[in-house]
Chains A and B, each alone.
Chain A
């Protein structure tokens, strides 16, 4: 079996194993897995409305997945997507409620604010990694909590002690009458176009620019890149900044499209962490992220139907996602088993 084929098989096998484990857990805890997965399926594809909502749910996953994948390609592990998303969400909503401008200025401004906030949140770990060789994993985890608490405090300040801001002005909204009518009045918004455009942007940066080449080179081998005259430190910082900007945009999708406000949070949204799974499943390529995000966005949205239709807690899908991540991470053992299976086949011949 070619290397490429096994690389593709690992995520597919992981997803199957994840769903199997989910079925076993449902069975053990006294639910009917068939009913559960039927409810999940209907929750995703049931009618036009659910399809619209599913696509809406996929939107932030696309951007979160891009953020993680982009950092991965440069050899960096951005666990901070969650925090970057939160500050992006706040920044976009803040611009959305603070001023009223013509749409042509207001909407781009709000989106840029989100990207800038996310970029700033990525800049700090990037800088510390480049200058002080601090591992980005720990710094980004800490930045997540700082983002959570700071944004909650800012929301309280902006809303005079309230738990959420007012709704954003229509001039900053991503809402689309056209897409809503098309999908039986779901909350589907123009964000999906931005997200798909960003998939193209990531592909372009990685494949068509010198910067992308350098980023990938640094990801493969820092020492060789340095020897070839590349500015490794600059590339590390830049990679984290761009990754953070993608994550910030994911926050803008929530702020300007889905919710049109920001509320203080008792905990994380989970989108950033699921972005890790999206990127891993997508083998860190832009196109792969589209598949990963589609899978996770669908699972996440479809799960909402499970308590009503089958009486199964929605957390079962989160368990499935965790198991998928677990198996993707353990790709080595899956590859080994695939190889053994292939060798046996050869012997049999």
Chain B
């Protein structure tokens, strides 16, 4: 296998695995930029993955080819609703945001399997029949090297994820909304003094994170596993959290980190078919994202600062 062949093999697969991570990581960026830690991303992703599959199975006959896309919308709404619980607890009820996030994760995992068992009478769903289709991008896929690398038999969802990252960058850094969002996360009292509604900003940010995590989860379940069971989402939410930190709380950084983690994930799955890489014990590729995150946090890859007010409930009038 030549080097280029290896690239043709690994790069599309890396992007394929990265797409859900990108969306969920960007969701995390929104939440944490506003000062709300969202450990619950994993659970939000689980609900997204579950609702995506459920919608797809129930409505495949009605909507045909459009089903997977409509399933994304359903998953987005479901995860948005669940994220509201986290928002109410951590913003209005002043709960410890980490504990609330843990509760969201436990709740999502239990609720989804409970519903699967109640509806299907078994531990996992059937496989979906309506899938996202892969296709070659006209003209672009004919470009030598780059074509087969990036534009041959790709999913639209991958382009969607990358587009969301750029939109998120624009929204957070170039719009008044983004300015307020960051102000609320850095210094909520100052923001409050300037007339920004801290509570509302944070609610909106958490809901955006829920929506994106839901879409991410549904893309994951509808492209990678094609069914839903207890092991469908197994740490991808935390990997997205890792990507967010590794990307230094910046949308494009998070996208880069997610692409890299997608690369690691695909290596651990297809690596056995690639010379040299097949000799590396699989476990090292599996733990790579987590180890890298710890190293990044320890400051060995440049200092990254979380939003200053991250994790602290804002209590009016308290200094």
Contact = CB atoms under 8 A, between A and B. Distances in A.
Interface of A: 25, 29-30, 77, 79, 124, 128, 132, 134-135, 137-139, 141-143, 145-146, 149-150, 152-153, 266-267, 270, 273, 276, 280, 313, 315-316, 318-319, 321-323, 325-326, 328-333
A150 B110 CA distance: 26
A interface secondary structure, majority:
helix
Interface string B210-233: 000000000000000000001100
Given A77-B98, A149-B287, A150-B283, A329 B103 contact: yes
17 contacts: A29-B115, A29-B118, A132-B298, A134-B299, A137-B37, A141-B39, A143-B294, A149-B283, A150-B287, A273-B102, A273-B105, A315-B111, A315-B114, A319-B111, A326-B104, A329-B100, A332-B94
Interface stretch (B52-60, B134-142, B238-246, B269-277): B238-246
Contacts of B107: 319, 322-323, 326
A134 B300 CA distance: 12
Contact of B102 (A79, A149, A267): A79
Q: For the side of the interface on B, what is the size category?
A: 35 or more
A121 to B, nearest CB: 12
B118 A313 contact: yes
Contacts of A329: 89, 93, 95-96, 99-100, 103
Looking at A138, A145, A319, the one whose CB has the most chain B CB atoms below 10 A away is A138
Given A153-B281, A325-B106, A330-B94, 13 more contacts: A29-B114, A142-B291, A146-B291, A150-B287, A276-B102, A315-B113, A315-B117, A316-B110, A322-B110, A325-B103, A326-B100, A330-B89, A332-B93
B231 A266 contact: yes
Given A149-B287, A152-B283, A329-B100, A318 B110 contact: yes
Nearest to B310: A135
A289 B293 CA distance: 32
Given A313-B117, A326-B100, A330-B93, A142 B282 contact: no
A138 B286 contact: no
B interface secondary structure, majority:
helix
A329 B105 CA distance: 14
Given A313-B113, A315-B110, A267 B234 contact: yes
Nearest to A326: B103
A266 B111 CA distance: 19
Nearest to A141: B238
Given A150-B287, A267-B230, A139 B297 contact: yes
Nearest to A323: B107
B294 A128 contact: yes
B242 A325 contact: no
A267 B231 contact: yes
B244 to A, nearest CB: 10
A316 B110 CA distance: 7
Contacts of B99: 276, 280, 325, 328-329
Nearest to A317: B110
Contacts of A135: 297, 306
Contact of A149 (B93, B113, B117, B286): B286
B85 interface: yes
A327 B110 CA distance: 17
A36 B139 CA distance: 61
B235 interface: yes
Nearest to B98: A137
Contacts of B85: 326
Contacts of B92: 333
B100 A330 contact: yes
Nearest to B268: A149
A325 B193 CA distance: 34
Interface string B283-308: 10011001101100111000000100
B235 to A, nearest CB: 5
A316 B107 CA distance: 10
B101 to A, nearest CB: 9
A310 to B, nearest CB: 13
Contact of B114 (A143, A313, A325): A313
